[in-house]
């Protein structure tokens, strides 16, 4: 087992990475032993892993809530189902929520924990690669609004993250590839040697090689933990973690939540950020091609569906959380491993990238 630490003073917590962790009670933090626990999961994950978590927590100390699967259910209405269960069963402020699932379950459960009785403990048990390397770490919680992704939320750190790599063995290939988009992101935003490593070992990752998976998760989580420790609430360098996300969230909003997986939209978004970076002279054509090729090798989309228009994306991007004083800021690349948050691009340059990617869906 690998143990990392997210260093946030009194709110620091461990990230545990290894095999067979779900059923091992000793890995669960004290937060889940003080009061009752509500395990929140979905109808895909529950048949696979719920029994193991129940065994670890003890049959008399927990209840389980099984929600419908999918990004389309990451809403305030679904969060209300969690509140209903907590209130009906009279869960007190000493309770803990356990998020067992991918990014949607983690975000929903964390948001409910942040807001139930003004904040209760929760732990993350991510079961997808995307959640293990990204969304479970850092304390971002929230739900979607029809007009924008993750527009309603709160910062609320978990008490622990338990990433059992055995869960990835049952992950569909499309879900696994979606997680690789976030892994690749960490190589681009500040760890060029990791990007090189991914180019050399992508085939082994796609074959689910244990040591390669553990290294990819460790490296990704270490990069995120370092940035979160510097900037918990995204007032500075943490915004770099949004590489590809302004474009990606606009794609998700335009297509409809759940049509593309989050990681698929981020992959295309990173390719669009690379294209704009090249137009600014910050990224060479060779570097741009390396990024696109690695996404393609991972089985990720690098083009948009033909019916998506540049105007639709631009309207969705106008609601991005990085819009300040009416100006959109984007995370772009000054070379591989050199991400920056910037508004130093013209409307014409941004429109050229949007038009290029929206022209018959070809990049």
Options 36, 62, 224, 279, the catalytic residue: 224
Place of tokens 């304390």: 139
Is residue 262 annotated as a catalytic residue, yes or no? yes
Is residue 242 annotated as a catalytic residue, yes or no? yes
Is residue 327 annotated as a catalytic residue, yes or no? no
35, with CB counted inside 10 A (0-12, 13-18, 19+), is: middle
The Cα–Cα gap between 270 and 88 comes to 44
H or E stretch at 264: helix 262-279
Distances (CA, A) of 227 to 89, 103, 150, 238: 38, 19, 20, 6
Is residue 140 annotated as a catalytic residue, yes or no? yes
Assess contact for 43 and 68: CB atoms under 8 A: yes
Is residue 74 annotated as a catalytic residue, yes or no? no
Place of tokens 């305030």: 76
Is residue 208 annotated as a catalytic residue, yes or no? no
Options 238, 278, 290, 329, the catalytic residue: 238
Place of tokens 């009061």: 35
Options 62, 74, 219, 262, the catalytic residue: 262
**Coil, strand or helix: which one is 65?**
strand
| Beta strand ranges found along 196-329 (DSSP E) | 323-324, 327-328
Q: Which two tokens stand for residue 213?
A: 């998976």
**Coil, strand or helix: which one is 232?**
coil
Is residue 71 annotated as a catalytic residue, yes or no? no
Beta-sheet pairing, 140-145 with 148-155: antiparallel
In 3D space, the residue among 89, 112, 102 whose CA is nearest the CA of residue 35 turns out to be 89
Enter the DSSP assignment of 139. Answer: -
Assess contact for 78 and 105: CB atoms under 8 A: no
Options 249, 278, 279, 290, the catalytic residue: 249
Options 73, 140, 156, 278, the catalytic residue: 140
Is residue 249 annotated as a catalytic residue, yes or no? yes
The Cα–Cα gap between 265 and 253 comes to 10
Options 52, 62, 245, 329, the catalytic residue: 245
State residue 148 phi and psi, 5-degree precision. Answer: -175, 145
Options 215, 232, 234, 264, the catalytic residue: 234
Enter the DSSP assignment of 43. Answer: T
Is residue 42 annotated as a catalytic residue, yes or no? no
Whole-angstrom distance between the N-terminal and C-terminal Cα of the chain?
41
**Coil, strand or helix: which one is 98?**
strand
CA 282 from chain centre, in angstroms, equals 26
Is residue 61 annotated as a catalytic residue, yes or no? no
Options 118, 211, 327, 360, the catalytic residue: 118
Options 182, 232, 252, 264, the catalytic residue: 182
Active-site residues, by number, are 118, 140, 182, 224, 234, 238, 242, 245, 249, 262
């Amino acid at each position: 087992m690998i143990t990392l630490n997210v260093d946030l003073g009194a709110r620091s917590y461990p990230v545990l990475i290894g095999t067979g962790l779900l059923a091992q009670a000793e890995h669960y933090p004290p937060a889940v032993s003080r009061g009752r626990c509500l395990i929140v999961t979905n109808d895909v994950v529950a048949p696979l892993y719920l029994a193991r978590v129940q065994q670890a927590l003890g049959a008399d100390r927990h209840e389980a809530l099984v929600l419908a699967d999918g990004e389309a259910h990451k809403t305030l209405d679904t969060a209300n189902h969690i509140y209903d269960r907590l209130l009906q069963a009279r869960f007190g402020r000493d309770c803990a929520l356990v998020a067992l699932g991918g990014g949607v379950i983690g975000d929903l459960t964390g948001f409910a924990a942040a807001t139930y009785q003004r904040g209760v403990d929760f732990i993350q048990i991510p079961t997808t690669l995307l959640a293990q390397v990204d969304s479970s770490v850092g304390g971002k919680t929230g739900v979607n609004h029809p007009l924008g992704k993750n527009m309603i939320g709160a910062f609320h750190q978990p008490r622990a993250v338990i990433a059992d790599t055995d869960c990835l063995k049952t992950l569909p290939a499309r879900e696994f590839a979606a997680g690789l988009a976030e892994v690749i992101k960490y190589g681009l935003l500040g760890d060029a040697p990791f990007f090189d490593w991914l180019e050399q070992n992508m085939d082994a990752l796609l074959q689910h090689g244990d040591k390669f998976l553990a290294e990819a998760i460790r490296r990704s989580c270490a990069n995120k933990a370092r940035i979160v420790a510097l900037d918990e609430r995204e007032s500075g360098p943490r915004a770099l973690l949004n590489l590809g996300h302004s474009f990606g969230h606009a794609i998700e909003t335009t297509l409809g939540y759940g049509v593309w997986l989050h990681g698929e939209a981020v992959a295309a978004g990173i390719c669009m950020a690379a294209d704009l970076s090249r137009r600014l002279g910050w990224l060479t054509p060779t570097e741009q091609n390396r990024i696109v090729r690695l996404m393609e090798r991972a089985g990720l989309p690098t083009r948009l569906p033909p019916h998506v228009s540049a105007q639709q994306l631009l309207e969705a991007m106008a609601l991005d959380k990085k819009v300040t004083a009416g100006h959109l800021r984007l995370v772009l690349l000054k070379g591989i491993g050199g991400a920056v948050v910037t508004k130093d691009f013209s409307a014409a340059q941004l429109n050229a990238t949007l038009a290029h990617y929206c022209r018959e869906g070809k990049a």
